[in-house]
């Protein structure tokens, strides 16, 4: 026979009059059911981690591309009918070497030039057999960069078929897109923080409502608001920390998954780009990665502070 | 100690549950309050432990007008009052020991300081063997005794007991009454609301009778 | 109707709360059960309303061995039993009316069918004016009466009442006892656990006495 | 004086013995605090909507690109020193016209050819002044496509500098990436569904634990499991529906936001691509959009069924 046996389940053999060792929490566990909150907050932290991860990726990508690009200018000499392209290339190289603020000049071979174009053109067969223009790459001394407008004018004047590519257009496009995405990321983070606060307020209210009888008794035996708030806070503190760690861990797993997916042969484009960025050298952006451990901290703080403020306000309004 | 002047109480828009209550309790007195079910005994006690406020009239408690009390003054006053609730109001998630020690814990006393006192009190009310179990497994009378122990553990200046012997046998009732008398001897003002005429007849103490919200001194 | 053979009950690993209980209740009988606090009265009743199972011995209820009952047979049997719990066990989120009507609602009866019956019963126990309020605002005695009304509303074959008059005045107690006797006259078997010697003395009915888990017939 | 007045707050004037009109729910509202669940499930539905939205976008993108591409082949005639490019182009065009399975042949002007290359090359100035190969676009009759290998061979033989581009490489890359992303989307949806079930199980358990006393009373007055489960289910049904609608609505708002962002001048690349796809004609993929209203339905069903099963199991295990 199975039957209602609530009493029997909690039963304990009447122990000898021993001195109790452990104190139960003043707020009952069942009345502050934070399981759902922990899951919901975990999802929030997960999303926050993804958003931060995404923003870091974007930053790295922009950094990589712009530093690759803006530290360098390219001069191209297109084949012109009445001029020897090799000679024109030499002239241009010499001109660059003499220019203030340019540190290294490399004339690229035809093969090298083709390879350099590849990322933008793909191995597009359409272009495979086109006459390739000659390229000269020149490093810029970033501390005293040359006057690029003047340089461009001089090149145009002195060298047939030459033009200066400062990659500025690419750079602008990239920066603009990155900026939009950064704003988006910030907005997402804000929304997540707001939703988290709402979640905690909800959970606090629910907890206080369900434990109303407990609260009444506590007040009647002389408890102060601060005492009660401390009991409630404690539970939310733990919940927030758990959620933060879970969410972050989940996000790291996801990044790991991307790495794995990115490394298999049939993943292309976006995925492998991501992989490259994720797995790339840590270099100077160490500090950025410190944002991740901040997530559990922030989650815990949000839980703690929101629960504290909400509890004090609700207590004052109910009792 | 306690003074009621023309006190009236109504809940919401209902009729007056208490009407024109005038009473005075001397410090150190022992007083019974009786009356039929629904007469307003519990309501009167609620006024005294500051769980409701009167709709009219004046209540003075510990020489203070309760109408002028600020929210943050309540805890200190409540710590001077011990209450045995009619429905016990034990916390199911705390052990009997913890329930009884709750007023001390809430007042931030360290458990090492009160442990032995509480155990002794539990022995007195016959709950020593139940110190580590939770209220849901206590019998009705055991719960009532735990509620009584919680009310007296802080040696309050004022003890309010609402039907404190409704769930115990007559012999035990007398024993518990002895506890109240003992406290009273050491200066606690005691007010016991009860239907138990047998109990009242055993203690020489004044009896107030409430009937439909009106007070009639001495039966 | 009810037969106990060598029934024993222990909770967890504790001592036996009930020991070697042998008893037989005829259909239509009226029986008191008394004993000091903690003697095991409530535990014995719990066995009868199938809230716990005996650790040893045999219990027959409505001519069925309770040990052989399946989980899904329990509701039908419970609907034949009315219980007044010592701690009332009213649902705070339902009105007095709804609480009293709960056994009928749970049995999927339509509220239009039982409305007037329930109102009449509420009038009888003096709660007509409180039909639409929630238990937290009822006085102790009013709650107890609501609990009694809920136990008898389904005209059960077996009525188990655990300390049903601990919170009402003697006059009301007698009135409520009349309700039980009335039911009993129409065939309900009644078992009342109580400490109230005054009450027992007013009804001519056999008394069983429990003491530390052992049963002694008739005081 | 503010004080503990719980009783007074719920107080009601004792009404005359009127017949009660409205029945309270058997399961107390405070004991089944679904606020947190609704928020958490809303987030789940939001994510599910985004995932589905993303998958639809990918499908549309792939559809668009592959139908653009695979319905067409391109023949390019690169400039060769000893042949007139215009003449070679004519020969190739005539050859194509005579081929079985080719429905339309268009010779592109130099400008047109350059524009066609733009999406892949960008307005890259490096290539601006290169001699552009001539291009011939030919539509393929998809019902009886020509033998492309044979065609390619014939073109190579008959026309100097000609080569056939079937875009197959692009297509493969696209399809692979899309497939990966689709798998990812399906995985995300699965994870979301799993998390939702977990959430509901948690919430059900919490609800039943907090309302344990209510359940005991219900059993003791003769309630059956099914009766109780029905009471619990009802609450979750409503919660699921609310969450589904909220989440979906939130997702639609987000898509709207993207549209808006995508339409401003400074958004580029990804964003404007998305915008184009979102705002594009609805055409045949009507059916896909029906996936969105399915979200609240699925959410409601998950809540309902999970709560039902969980309740029955928990009831059996507790009582
Ligand atoms: N919070 C409340 N809101 C509305 N009415 C209330 C409230 N508390 C009590 N009442 C009503 O006030 C009346 C007096 O209640 P009270 O609890 O003071 O009676 P009592 O004398 O203690 O009765 P008993 O002996 O049955 O415990 C009752 O009719 C009760 O229904
Ligand atoms: N669920 C339980 N688990 C463990 N012990 C229990 C449980 N229920 C009751 N007890 C113990 O069993 C003993 C008998 O309890 P029971 O409630 O039957 O007594 P009672 O006769 O009803 O007393 P009272 O008159 O005080 O209500 C008590 O000591 C009590 O602490
Ligand atoms: Mg009362
Ligand atoms: Mg009992």
Partners of B14 on chain D (C-beta within 8 Å) are 11-14
Chains that touch D (3 or more CB pairs under 8 A): A, B, C
| Residue-level pLDDT at A24 | 86
**Do residues A56 and B167 lie in contact, with contact meaning Cβ atoms separated by under 8 Å?**
no
Q: Is C17 in the pocket of ligand 2 (CB under 6 A)?
A: yes
Each domain of chain D, given as residue ranges in start order, spans 3-66+172-318, 79-160
| Residue-level pLDDT at B135 | 95
User: Per residue in D160-183, is it b (16+ CB within 10 Å) or e — as a string?
Assistant: bbbbbbbbeebeeebebbbebbee
User: What sign does the CA torsion over C13, C15, C16, C17 have?
Assistant: negative
The pLDDT of residue A213 is above 60: yes
Q: Is C33 in the pocket of ligand 2 (CB under 6 A)?
A: no
Q: Rounded to the nearest 10 degrees, what angle do helices A148-158 and A85-98 cross at?
A: 150
CATH class of C2-218: alpha beta
As given in the structure block, the two tokens for residue A290 are: 């410190």
Closest by CA to C85, choosing from C153, C150, C172, is C150
Question: Where on the phi/psi map is residue B89: left (φ > 0), alpha (ψ -120 to 50), or beta?
Answer: left
| Residue-level pLDDT at D25 | 86
Separation in Å, CA C185 to CA C2, C24, C32, C165, D200: 18, 19, 16, 20, 51
Over residues C161-177, mean pLDDT? 92
Provide the shortest C-alpha distance from residue C185 to chain A (in Å): 31
Q: Is B139 in the pocket of ligand 2 (CB under 6 A)?
A: yes
| Residue-level pLDDT at A168 | 66
Q: Is C40 in the pocket of ligand 2 (CB under 6 A)?
A: yes
Chains that touch C (3 or more CB pairs under 8 A): A, B, D
Q: Is C194 in the pocket of ligand 2 (CB under 6 A)?
A: no
Q: Rounded to the nearest 10 degrees, what angle do helices B111-124 and B96-106 cross at?
A: 130
Partners of C71 on chain A (C-beta within 8 Å) are 1-3
Is the complex ipTM more than 0.85?
no
CA pair distance A262, A131, nearest whole angstrom:
35
Contact D1 B69 (CB under 8 A): yes
Over residues D123-130, mean pLDDT? 50
Residues with CB under 5 A from ligand 4 (ion): B 139-140; C 42, 86
**Do residues C109 and C131 lie in contact, with contact meaning Cβ atoms separated by under 8 Å?**
no
- Considering only residues D128 and B97, tell me which one the structure prediction assigns the higher pLDDT: B97
Over residues A262-269, mean pLDDT? 49
Partners of B169 on chain C (C-beta within 8 Å) are 35-37, 195
User: Distance between terminal CA atoms of chain B?
Assistant: 23
| Radius of gyration of chain C from its Cα atoms, rounded to whole angstroms | 17
Taking all residues of chain C, what is their mean pLDDT, rounded to a whole number? 93
The pLDDT of residue B124 is above 70: yes
Instruction: Out of A118-122, B94-98, D250-254, pick the least confident.
Output: A118-122
CA pair distance B72, A319, nearest whole angstrom:
12
The pLDDT of residue C133 is above 60: yes
The pLDDT of residue A270 is above 70: no
Q: Quick one: pLDDT band at residue A105, thresholds 50, 70, 90?
A: confident
**Do residues D158 and D95 lie in contact, with contact meaning Cβ atoms separated by under 8 Å?**
yes
Partners of B70 on chain D (C-beta within 8 Å) are 1
Contact C49 D11 (CB under 8 A): no
Q: Kindly report the protein residue whose alpha carbon is nearest to atom 4 of ligand 2.
A: A11
Closest by CA to D236, choosing from D271, D201, D288, is D201
Q: Which of B75, B129, B136 sits opposite A14 (nearest CB)?
A: B129
| Residue-level pLDDT at C106 | 94
Closest chain A residue to the Cα of B133, Cα to Cα: A12
User: Per residue in A43-64, is it b (16+ CB within 10 Å) or e — as a string?
Assistant: bbbbbbbbbbbbbbbbbbbbee
Instruction: Out of A86-95, A116-125, D140-149, pick the least confident.
Output: A116-125
Contact A33 D209 (CB under 8 A): yes
The pLDDT of residue D310 is above 90: yes
The pLDDT of residue A170 is above 70: no
| Residue-level pLDDT at A187 | 83
Q: Does D1 touch chain B (CB under 8 A)?
A: yes
Partners of D198 on chain A (C-beta within 8 Å) are 39
Q: Compute φ and ψ for D104, nearest 5 degrees.
A: -140, 135
Partners of D13 on chain B (C-beta within 8 Å) are 11-15
Contacts of A48 (CB under 8 A, 6+ apart): A189, A192, A193, A247, A295, A298, A299
Q: Quick one: pLDDT band at residue A135, thresholds 50, 70, 90?
A: confident
Please calculate the CA angle D293-D298-D302 and round it to the nearest 5 degrees. Answer: 160
- Considering only residues A99 and D58, tell me which one the structure prediction assigns the higher pLDDT: A99
| Residue-level pLDDT at D40 | 83
The pLDDT of residue D94 is above 60: yes
From ligand 3's centre to the CA of C141, what distance in Å? 7
Over residues A271-295, mean pLDDT? 66
Q: Which of B9, B10, B11 to mutate to test the interface with D (most CBs of D within 10 A)?
A: B11
The pLDDT of residue C57 is above 60: yes
| Residue-level pLDDT at D181 | 75
Over residues D164-170, mean pLDDT? 68
From ligand 1's centre to the CA of D47, what distance in Å? 52
CA pair distance D171, D167, nearest whole angstrom:
6
- Considering only residues A167 and A248, tell me which one the structure prediction assigns the higher pLDDT: A248
Instruction: Out of A145-154, A306-315, B114-123, pick the least confident.
Output: A145-154
**Do residues B70 and B83 lie in contact, with contact meaning Cβ atoms separated by under 8 Å?**
no
Provide the shortest C-alpha distance from residue D209 to chain B (in Å): 13
Contact C91 D217 (CB under 8 A): yes
The pLDDT of residue C52 is above 60: yes
CA pair distance B190, B30, nearest whole angstrom:
5
Contact B14 D8 (CB under 8 A): no
Q: Does A76 touch chain D (CB under 8 A)?
A: yes
Beta strand B2-10 with B16-25: parallel, antiparallel or unpaired? antiparallel
Q: Does D274 touch chain A (CB under 8 A)?
A: no
Closest chain A residue to the Cα of D126, Cα to Cα: A76
Over residues B146-173, mean pLDDT? 94
3-state SS class at C156: coil
CA pair distance A134, A139, nearest whole angstrom:
17
Could you report the per-residue pLDDT of C195-208, keeping only the tens digit for each? Answer: 988 889 988 899 99
Each domain of chain B, given as residue ranges in start order, spans 2-218
Whole-model pTM: value is 0.79
Measured in whole angstroms, how far is the alpha carbon of residue B9 from the centre of its chain?
19
- C interface with D, Cβ–Cβ < 8 A, is 49, 51, 71-72, 74-76, 78-79, 83, 89, 91-95, 97-98, 102-103, 105-108, 111, 115, 119, 122-123, 128-134, 136-137, 150
Closest chain D residue to the Cα of C104, Cα to Cα: D221
Contacts across the B-D interface (CB distance below 8 Å): 40
From ligand 4's centre to the CA of C175, what distance in Å? 22
DSSP per position, D96-149? HHHSTTEEEEEEPPHHHHHHHHHHHH-S-HHHHTSPPPEEEEEEE-TTS---HH
Nearest atom in ligand 2 to the alpha carbon of residue A13 is: 4
Q: Which of D19, D224, D316 sits opposite C75 (nearest CB)?
A: D224
Closest chain A residue to the Cα of D33, Cα to Cα: A206
Q: Kindly report the protein residue whose alpha carbon is nearest to atom 31 of ligand 1.
A: C138
Contacts of A318 (CB under 8 A, 6+ apart): A208, A212, A215, D6
CA pair distance B136, C12, nearest whole angstrom:
14
| Residue-level pLDDT at D122 | 43
Could you report the per-residue pLDDT of A25-45, keeping only the tens digit for each? Answer: 888 776 666 777 888 888 889
Partners of B143 on chain C (C-beta within 8 Å) are 87
| Residue-level pLDDT at D31 | 62
Nearest atom in ligand 2 to the alpha carbon of residue A7 is: 1
- CB atoms near residue B108 (< 10 Å): 9
Could you report the per-residue pLDDT of A217-244, keeping only the tens digit for each? Answer: 999 999 999 999 999 998 899 999 999 9
Q: Does A20 touch chain B (CB under 8 A)?
A: yes
The pLDDT of residue D253 is above 80: yes
Q: Is C31 in the pocket of ligand 2 (CB under 6 A)?
A: no
Q: Quick one: pLDDT band at residue A121, thresholds 50, 70, 90?
A: very low
CA pair distance B30, B189, nearest whole angstrom:
6
């Amino acid at each position: 026979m199975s039957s209602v046996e609530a009493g029997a389940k909690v039963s304990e053999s009447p122990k000898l009059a021993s001195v109790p060792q452990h104190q139960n929490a003043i707020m009952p566990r069942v009345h502050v059911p934070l399981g759902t909150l922990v899951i919901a907050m975990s999802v929030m932290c997960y999303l926050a981690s993804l958003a931060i991860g995404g923003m870091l990726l974007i930053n790295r990508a922009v950094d990589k591309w712009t530093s690759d690009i803006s530290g360098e200018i390219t001069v191209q000499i297109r084949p012109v009918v009445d001029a020897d392209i090799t000679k024109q290339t030499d002239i241009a190289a010499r001109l660059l070497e003499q220019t203030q603020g340019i540190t290294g000049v490399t004339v690229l071979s035809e093969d090298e030039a083709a390879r350099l174009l590849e990322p933008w053109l793909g191995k597009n067969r359409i272009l495979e057999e086109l006459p390739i223009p000659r390229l000269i790459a020149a490093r810029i001394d970033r501390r005293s960069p040359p006057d690029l407008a003047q340089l461009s004018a001089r090149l145009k004047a002195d060298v047939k078929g030459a033009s200066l590519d400062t990659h500025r257009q690419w750079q602008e496009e990239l920066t603009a897109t990155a900026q939009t995405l950064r704003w988006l990321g910030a907005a997402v983070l804000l929304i997540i923080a707001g939703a988290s606060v709402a979640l905690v307020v909800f959970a606090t209210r629910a907890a206080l409502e369900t434990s109303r009888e407990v609260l009444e008794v506590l007040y009647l035996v002389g408890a102060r608001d601060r005492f009660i708030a401390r009991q409630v806070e404690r539970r939310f503190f733990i919940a927030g920390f758990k959620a933060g760690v879970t969410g972050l861990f989940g996000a790291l797993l996801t990044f790991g998954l991307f790495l794995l997916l990115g490394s298999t042969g049939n993943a292309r484009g976006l995925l492998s780009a991501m992989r490259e960025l994720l797995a790339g050298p840590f270099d100077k952006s160490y500090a950025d990665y410190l944002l991740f451990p901040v997530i559990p901290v922030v989650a815990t703080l949000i839980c703690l502070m929101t629960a504290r403020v909400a509890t004090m306000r609700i207590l004052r309004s109910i009792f | 100690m306690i003074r009621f002047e023309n006190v009236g109480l109504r809940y919401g828009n209902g009729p007056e549950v208490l009407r024109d209550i005038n009473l005075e309790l001397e410090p150190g007195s022992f007083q019974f309050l009786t009356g039929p079910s629904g007469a307003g005994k519990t309501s009167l006690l609620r006024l005294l432990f500051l769980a409701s406020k009167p709709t009219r009239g004046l209540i003075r408690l510990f020489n203070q007008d309760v109408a002028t009390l600020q929210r943050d003054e309540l805890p200190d006053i409540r710590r001077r009052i011990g209450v045995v609730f009619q429905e016990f109001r034990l916390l199911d998630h705390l052990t009997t020991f913890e329930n009884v020690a709750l007023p001390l814990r809430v007042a931030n006393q360290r458990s090492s300081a009160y442990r032995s006192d509480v155990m002794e009190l539990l022995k007195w009310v016959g709950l020593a063997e139940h110190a580590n179990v939770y209220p849901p497994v206590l019998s009705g009378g055991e719960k009532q005794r735990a509620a009584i122990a919680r009310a007296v553990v802080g040696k309050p200046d004022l003890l309010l007991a609402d039907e404190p012997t409704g769930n115990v046998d007559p012999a035990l009732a007398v024993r518990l009454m002895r506890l109240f008398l003992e406290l009273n001897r050491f200066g606690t003002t005691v007010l016991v609301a009860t239907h138990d005429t047998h109990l009242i007849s055993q203690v020489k103490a004044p009896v107030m009778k409430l009937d439909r919200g009106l007070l009639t001194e001495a039966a």
